Amino acid sequence: LAKTTQPISMDSYEGQEVNITCSHNNIATNDYITWYQQFPSQGPRFIIQGYKTKVTNEVASLFIPADRKSSTLSLPRVSLSDTAVYYCLVASYYGNNRLAFGKGNQVVVIP
Amino acid sequence: DAGITQSPRHKVTETGTPVTLRCHQTENHRYMYWYRQDPGHGLRLIHYSYGVKDTDKGEVSDGYSVSRSKTEDFLLTLESATSSQTSVYFCASNTGDSNQPQHFGDGTRLSIL
């Protein structure tokens, strides 16, 4: 399973755009890049997923460069409720669907 | 996620006792998973199922067994609980189709004294 590397933690002020990076140098051709958000006492919640270039949904954008060895999750205008741990994963959804969670990135939004 | 429920949500038990955690999903997903989450380790896969009566081991399967007799239910059993199995346990499910993400329950906090 491809490994990912993320910063351990980061702080951001309310209302700012937050960009969270993830490195995945050994990503395979069939791998997708998926981001989850986890609040205390809750299970991880799917945010966004992509294969290449840019993906946008109602809560976030995901930027993937051409070499796919990294990705950036962008959260526009964060609020205090966006304080959470964010996990980046790469996984192939062909075969056994196994995911490898790293330690995630603790994002703290400050008033 | 609304489609996955775990029970119980909290449990305290003693070393050596058997414990069964239940995961129930209403999405008709083919795949189901059990993870444990511990400080400093993130989430680690214990076992997963790719269909009724079809299961396989994850990276931390020792001391755990699973069963799946119906599509909607996936049970995790600790035959003889140990203190090292104190953790938060999460269940997840997905269709198993290409690029379909896993959806998680809200976890069971298990304390073994």
Tell me: the pLDDT tens digits for A35-78? 999 998 899 999 999 999 999 999 999 999 999 999 999 999 99
Tally of domains in chain B: 1
* B41 with A103: Cβ contact below 8 A: yes
Nearest to A24 by CA among A63, A59, A68: A68
- CB-based contact A6:A102 (threshold 8 Å): yes
The stretches of chain B forming alpha helices (DSSP H) are: none
Q: What is the pLDDT of residue B61?
A: 94
Q: What is the pLDDT of residue A1?
A: 55
Structural domain for B65, as ranges? 4-112
Spell out the CATH class of A9-110: mainly beta
Query: Domain holding B33: CATH number?
Result: 2.60.40.10
- In this predicted model, what pLDDT tens digit does every residue of A7-35 receive, in sequence order? 889 999 999 999 999 999 988 888 889 99
Parts of chain B with a pLDDT under 70: 1-2, 98
Reported as a pLDDT band with limits 50, 70 and 90, residue A2 is low
Taking the C-alpha atoms of residue B78 and residue B83, their distance in angstroms, rounded to an integer, is 11
Q: Which residues pair with A70 in a beta bridge?
A: A23
* B106 with A42: Cβ contact below 8 A: yes
Reported as a pLDDT band with limits 50, 70 and 90, residue A95 is low
A45: contact with B, CB 8 A cutoff: yes
